[in-house]
Amino acid sequence: MWCSPWKDGCAITVKVTPKASRNAVLGAEETWLRVALTAPPVDGKANEAARRFLAEALGVSKSAVSLLSGQTARLKRFAVAGMPPEQAKSILLP
């Protein structure tokens, strides 16, 4: 599942498409959420853009979202503090 329980919140597995024309959630497969980002995949810019995008989309502070794994890969896993998986799923894929 692309969104699962994690400590006091949830963990979201994201497949990033960098250098897109806009930031957007493009859909979900069973194991990951596809996200398009305008940021290039250099110097951690896509990681930071994904973190900011998830925080804004979920309505939480940027500090509530942290990268767990996938720093140099397209498939990344983020932790979101204080948000149950069901709530995150309903916000990201209404």
What are the pLDDT digits (tens) for 50-77? Answer: 999 999 999 999 999 999 999 999 999 9
Is the CATH code 3.60.15.10 the one for domain 3-92? no
Per-residue pLDDT reduced to its tens digit, 3-36 = 999 999 999 999 999 999 999 999 999 999 999 9
Please give the model's pTM, rounded to 2 decimal places. Answer: 0.95
What is the bridge-based pairing of β-strands 24-28 and 33-36? antiparallel
How big is the chain, counted in residues?
94
pLDDT band at 94 (very low <50, low <70, confident <90, very high): confident
Q: Where are the domains of the chain?
A: 3-92
- Dihedral over alpha carbons 94, 71, 69, 57 (to 10 degrees): -20
